[in-house]
Amino acid sequence: MWKVLLISLFFISSVATAPSEDGRIRTRRDPQYDVVVSSQRQADCSLALTFIRSDSTNMPKLTVRFDIDQTPAANTHEGEIVLQPGLESETLDWNVPIGWNPPFVVSGVSMLDDPNNVGDFIQVGQRVQHTIPDDGPCVMASAKRDPHMATFDGFRYNFQGTCWYTLVKHCTENPEFEISARFEPLKSNGPEIKSRATAINVTIGDERISLDKDTILVNDQPYWVAQLSDRPRNAHIDVNSDSIVIDIARLKLEVEWDGRKHIFNAAILNPEYHGKVCGLLGNADENPHNDLQKRDGSTTLDIDEFGASWRTPGIRCDY
């Protein structure tokens, strides 16, 4: 997994009273309302910020107002999150603005509602600062619906394939990973073919994780059966309410799949793979102009020719 940053919101008694948009703020030192923040980069290169109470024995409503600053540039994102009564933590997704580059400085204060004055707060902590370090470049690619493709380098195109295709693979004689997708045609009354992604395979070493709309297989076994033999060993599978995330920590690769919406995202967090991958999602070398590289290594300007070259050999699709 990626580095987790802990930010303590410490508390002192000598904090000046300041007005807020919602009303007055009084101050009071109360260590039981300490808050820590963890951050983790996700498959779409956003940051998941989780605000966690240090003391879970007493959990009233707690409001945290925070800033995220890019240094040394004078860019600031302001936000607020509420830890509802009884909840130990709350998470928000922060999409890093275009042009922002880490490190980022997070600062914040935690506040209780003032029981004597509606709309006022009691500030129980002072503003502190901590830095979210630069974990290296994050390049993200995606395939959405019918299917709109975006390469790791930001080149966008549409490709209406109707079979299995290589999305991205490690382009060496002994590839460490390969991700492929099945595209099926949509029902249409016209002559134009439109397709969408309906399943993906993620191969890491001797393991293949297969995902479709409702099923997870590991080497053709149901996921729950594979878990009995500690499979998969090369990746961690996180099943959420709306998507499935495959985290390949050793390779710093993350894959997100939403089978109901036919959406795929992949993030390469390891700079060693930049320029050393290939497939429908390009080569991740920061140059979008050479992303249409075919399986044989040559380039083309024809999207259909490029896409057809990445059809998985040996698989018959009768669509």
* CATH fourth-level superfamily of 7-132: Immunoglobulins (2.60.40.10)
Per-residue pLDDT at 223 exceeds 90: yes
Alpha-helical regions (H) of the chain: 223-228, 303-309
| Nearest Cα residue to 284 out of 177, 140, 187, 167 | 140
User: What percentage of residues in the chain have a pLDDT greater than 90?
Assistant: 37
- Structural domain boundaries of the chain? 7-132, 139-309
pLDDT at 125: 62
For 264-311, the pLDDT digits (tens) are 888 887 888 889 999 999 999 888 899 999 999 999 999 999 999 999
> Which pair of structure tokens corresponds to residue 266?
């992949």
On the 0-12 / 13-18 / 19+ scale of CB atoms within 10 A, 297 is exposed
CA-only gyration radius of the chain, Å: 24
Amino acid sitting at position 44: D
Predicted TM-score (pTM) of this structure: 0.64
Per-residue pLDDT at 314 exceeds 60: yes
CB 306 within 8 A of CB 294: yes
Per-residue pLDDT at 6 exceeds 70: no
Q: Phi and psi of 133, rounded to 5°? A: -75, 170
Contacts of residues 171-178 at CB distance under 8 Å and 24 or more positions apart, as own/partner, are: 171/276, 171/277, 171/278, 171/283, 172/276, 176/204, 176/205, 176/251, 177/202, 177/203, 177/204, 177/248, 177/251, 177/253, 178/202, 178/203
pLDDT at 219: 96
Give buried/exposed letters for 46-85 (b at 16+ CB in 10 A, else e). Answer: bbebebbbeeeeebeebbbbbbbbbeeeeeebeeebebee
Cα torsion 83, 84, 88, 89: sign: negative
Angle at 74 between CA 72 and CA 76, to 5 degrees: 115
Residues in the chain: 319
Per-residue pLDDT at 11 exceeds 70: no
Per-residue pLDDT at 209 exceeds 60: yes
218 vs 161, higher pLDDT: 218
pLDDT at 145: 57
Domain 139-309, second-level architecture: 3-Layer(aba) Sandwich (3.40)
